[in-house]
């Protein structure tokens, strides 16, 4: 949102998209940005994605390594190409890296149609989908227009907006001005097609217990 620390949001957005080379359930996948700051967000985000060092995961300087299998590259590229074919636009990347191994270019998509994979499916690789909205109402509506609901990260310094995101985003976890992360002290889990129940924290411990009911009259 416009009140967010944009530099911090952009830096975190890149980290959140490429965690585990994008192959994480809580890696950020859809980026919903207020129209008034969208140009600046896109420029900074795309620049940082382009600058990522792709290479050997054993090299300490590598920022983005390979995907787990060659099939993962093929399925990810199929999703990207289908999105482009439906009218999506590539701001950077958009194809496998021409080198040995299961590498895919850091990719940013925008102008994403509702009937495309980038809108409806999860991408398990370094492909980000950027959406523009007019206001917080559209942001929440778009965020909830998904069959998934694991984690969400909302960036705003407006207390009223923070309150709305916390209460109105339909996800198992909502982080404000912070990347979604797993913490053993906190319950972890989602809603809708992202599952039910929780692991970790006191709620997670209870998932592994059988409560015994005893009624004596």
Render pLDDT for 199-212 as a digit per residue (tens, 0 to 9).
999 999 998 899 99
pTM for this model (two decimals)? 0.92
> Is residue 196 very low, low, confident or very high in pLDDT (cuts 50, 70, 90)?
confident
Residue 68, C-beta contacts closer than 8 angstroms, at least 6 positions apart: 23, 102
**How many angstroms separate the Cα of 173 from the Cα of each of 81, 145, 167, 181, 200?**
31, 16, 11, 9, 13
Question: According to the CATH classification, is domain 6-182 in 3.40.309.10?
Answer: yes
Domain boundaries, the chain: 6-182
Residue 208: what pLDDT?
Answer: 87
Rounded average pLDDT over 153-161: 98
């Amino acid at each position: 949102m416009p009140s967010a620390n944009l530099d911090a949001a952009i830096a975190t957005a890149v980290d959140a998209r490429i965690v585990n080379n994008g192959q994480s359930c809580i890696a950020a996948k859809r980026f919903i940005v207020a129209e008034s700051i969208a140009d600046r967000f896109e420029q900074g985000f795309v620049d940082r994605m382009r600058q990522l060092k792709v290479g050997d995961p054993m090299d300490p300087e590598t920022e983005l390594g390979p995907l787990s299998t060659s099939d993962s590259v093929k399925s990810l590229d199929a999703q990207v190409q289908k999105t482009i074919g439906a009218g999506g636009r590539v701001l950077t990347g958009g194809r496998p890296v021409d080198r040995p191994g299961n590498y895919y270019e850091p990719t940013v998509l925008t102008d994403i149609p509702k009937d495309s994979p980038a809108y409806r499916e999860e991408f398990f690789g370094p492909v980000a989908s950027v959406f523009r909205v007019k206001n917080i109402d559209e942001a929440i509506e778009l965020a909830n227009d998904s069959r998934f609901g694991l984690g969400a990260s909302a960036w705003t310094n407006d207390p009223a907006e923070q309150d709305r995101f916390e209460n109105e985003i339909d996800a198992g976890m909502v982080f404000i001005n912070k990347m979604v992360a797993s913490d053993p002290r906190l319950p972890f889990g989602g809603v809708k097609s992202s599952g039910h129940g929780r692991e970790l924290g006191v709620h997670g411990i209870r998932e592994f217990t059988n409560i015994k009911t005893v009624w004596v009259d």
